[in-house]
Amino acid sequence: MSCEDCKSKDTCQTKETGCKEENPKLMPRYGKIKNIIGIISGKGGVGKSTVTGIIATMLAKKGYKVGVLDADITGPSMPRFFGVNDKRATIIPLENDMVKFEPVETDSEIKVISMNLLTAVEDEPVIWRGPVITGVLKQMFVETNWGELDYLLIDMPPGTGDIALTVMQELPIDEIVVVSTPQDMVSMIVKKVVIMAQKIGIKIKGVVENMAYINCPDCDKKIRVFSKKSSEENADYLGIPLIGELPINIELTEALESGKAEEYVRENSLYSLIFEGLY
Ligand code: ADP
Query: How do residues 219-262 score in pLDDT, each as one tens digit?
Result: 989 999 888 889 999 999 999 999 999 999 999 999 999 999 99
Q: How many CB atoms lie within 10 A of CB 10?
A: 9
Quote the percentage of the chain above a pLDDT of 90. 66
Sorted by where each starts, the structural domains of the chain and their CATH numbers stand as: 28-275 (3.40.50.300)
pLDDT at 42 over 90: no
Measure 256 CA to ligand 1 centroid, in angstroms. 9
Contact of 231 with 242, CB cutoff 8 Å: yes
pLDDT of residue 97: 81
pLDDT of residue 78: 94
Q: How far apart are CA 25 and CA 188, in angstroms?
A: 30
Contact of 154 with 167, CB cutoff 8 Å: yes
Q: How many angstroms separate the most distant Cα atoms in the chain?
A: 74
pLDDT of residue 11: 65
Ligand 1, atom 22: closest residue by C-alpha: 248
pTM: 0.91
Per-residue confidence band for 279, with pLDDT thresholds at 50, 70 and 90 = very high
pLDDT digits 0-9 by tens, 129-175: 878 889 889 999 999 999 999 999 999 988 888 888 889 999 999 99
Q: Residues 197-202: what's their mean pLDDT?
A: 94
pLDDT at 18 over 90: no
For residue 210, give the ligand 1 atom closest to its CA: 23
What Rg do the C-alpha atoms of the chain give, in angstroms? Answer: 20
pLDDT digits 0-9 by tens, 95-116: 888 889 999 999 999 999 999 8
pLDDT at 1 over 60: no
Measure 78 CA to ligand 1 centroid, in angstroms. 11
Considering only CA atoms, which of 69, 65, 10 is closest in space to residue 279? 65
pLDDT of residue 125: 78
Give residues (CB < 6 A) around ligand 1. Answer: 41, 44-50, 77, 210-211, 246, 248-249, 252-253, 256
